[in-house]
Amino acid sequence: MKKITIISLFFAIFSVALFAQSEVNKMLTEIATATSANRIEKDIITLVNFGTRHTLSDTISKTNGIGAARRWVKSAFEEVSKNCNNCLDVSYVGDLVVADGRRITKDTKVVNVVAIQKGTKYPNNYVIMSGDIDSRVSDANNFTSDSPGANDNATGLAGTIEAARILSKYKFPVSIIYVGLSGEEQGLYGGKILADYAKKYGWNILGVLNNDMIGNIEGIDGVIDNSTFRVFSEAISMETTDREKAAMRFYGGEVDGPSRQLARYIDKLTDEYMTNLDAIMIYRLDRFGRGGHHRPFNDAGFTGVRIMETHENYNRQHQDIRTENGIKYGDVLEGVNFDYAAKLTAVNCLTLASLAAAPLMPENVMIAGAVEPSTRLKWDISNDENIIGYKIYWRDTTSPQWQYSRFVGNISDYTLKNIVIDNYLFGVASVGKNGAESLIQFPRKLIPSGM
């Protein structure tokens, strides 16, 4: 009788796991091929036709300048919301930025366009996709000249609108925010305004996907490449304490901050669901000495990465439109590959959907195993009834991606026998009944002696 019970339990768990896997796989497989290059192209053309979207440009005109552009972005999100039974809360979130004597030459209202798809179970947990509204030419303070900003960054903004179209067809436990940020070229002001807003209202941000230039495949280095993209992520959180930094000398974790885990998550989903596309993780906040609109969120302690093309073309960035010595300069439509932008948008959709469908992350992850033959991990069980269990990951200390994993069930304490702690790095993720997994949590504490 006991054997029958055990066998029945095994097959019950196995059946649930198979169902869960097929459920989330079906959704993500649909999403991976749902983006439309034609819709993205149409939106980029619309944005380019505003002439300039410089942060300090015209706000009154109905056809030209940043004001007309952000009103159109708002209307685009509202149209998406109309098609999903008003599933998006669309609004402006902005603030006055006082002239700084550098790139804000006059007091300016910096305004973001925010569309929130509320989660059904955890509405105060958020995943965010952003693209920038503003554009510029060679002179960062020139707010009148034609500045199409086709790739930088109409592609990221058009991708964000397209993601809203795709994901608004589904319901998720966690909220998704689609946002057009302003003031990026003038000093990342829009991101700071939204990060401050999130802090003020107590948003629990699980991850920010900053999309900045996702449409160019012809690099300044002569390489044409539509099969790779870069994910920039900083090593550790800006909220890491001095004590935690000191502990990293002895226990590791200096390349395992939350933003780096998000980058690995994106890499894994790309490998599993995208065809002929590879994510290249760059262990750096942004390009060398430069910054993007995920940085203000990182500065505020939130998890965030930058997604962008692999090979940039500086002749098409921040340039007056002109031809010199046979070289064409300017960020115009001819420099955008719309199919490539659609593929990178799909990666965002996969990441947002997977995170928004995932259960609560394990908390208080701890580890032990010094001078022992095995490694023990312990964590707090969540009260999320959608959790089917937990999964332990580990990898070589020099490996960029998690190599090994083991589903251990709905328990809070597990020992990996004959896995020596010295030789690997470890993490724990929650697994939902639908098959979705949370971000992996790196152990930041030692299991107290005697526990």
Please provide the DSSP assignment of 142-207 as one string: --SS-B--IIIIIIHHHHHHHHHHHHTTS--SEEEEEEEE--TTTTSHHHHHHHHHHHHTT-EEEE
| DSSP symbol at 223 | -
pLDDT band at 172 (very low <50, low <70, confident <90, very high): very high
Q: What is the mean pLDDT of residues 219-234?
A: 97
Euclidean distance between CA atoms 306 and 302, whole angstroms: 13
Helix or strand or coil: residue 44?
helix
Which residues are within 8 A (CB) of 213 and not within 5 positions of it... i.e. 6 or more apart? 151, 152, 153, 155, 156, 308, 309, 312, 317
Percentage of the chain modeled with pLDDT above 90? 93
> Is the CB of residue 170 less than 8 Å from the CB of residue 27?
yes
| DSSP symbol at 419 | -
pLDDT of residue 23: 86
Q: What is the CA radius of gyration of the chain?
A: 23
CB atoms within 10 A of CB 202: 7
> Is the pLDDT reported for residue 187 higher than 50?
yes
pLDDT band at 2 (very low <50, low <70, confident <90, very high): very low
pLDDT band at 112 (very low <50, low <70, confident <90, very high): very high
Q: What is the mean pLDDT of residues 280-294?
A: 96
> Is the CB of residue 95 less than 8 Å from the CB of residue 193?
yes
pLDDT band at 202 (very low <50, low <70, confident <90, very high): very high
> Is the pLDDT reported for residue 444 higher than 80?
yes
Residue-wise pLDDT tens digits, 275-285: 999 999 999 99
Angle, vertex CA 69, rays to CA 287 and CA 47, nearest 5: 65
> Is the CB of residue 152 less than 8 Å from the CB of residue 293?
no
> Is the pLDDT reported for residue 19 higher than 70?
no
Distance of CA 61 to the CA centre of its chain: 33
Residue-wise pLDDT tens digits, 115-159: 999 999 999 999 999 999 999 999 999 999 999 999 999 999 999
Euclidean distance between CA atoms 293 and 277, whole angstroms: 24
> Is the CB of residue 439 less than 8 Å from the CB of residue 401?
no
Q: Which of the pair, 159 or 2, is modelled with greater confidence? A: 159
Euclidean distance between CA atoms 114 and 180, whole angstroms: 7
Q: Which of 18-22, 166-170, 216-220, 353-357 comes out lowest in average pLDDT?
A: 18-22
Closest CA to 272 of 42, 25, 2, 90: 25
pLDDT of residue 21: 59
Percentage of the chain modeled with pLDDT above 70? 95
The amino acid present at 161, given as its one-letter code, is I
pLDDT band at 382 (very low <50, low <70, confident <90, very high): confident
> Is the pLDDT reported for residue 11 higher than 70?
no
Q: Which of 10-14, 97-101, 221-225 comes out lowest in average pLDDT?
A: 10-14
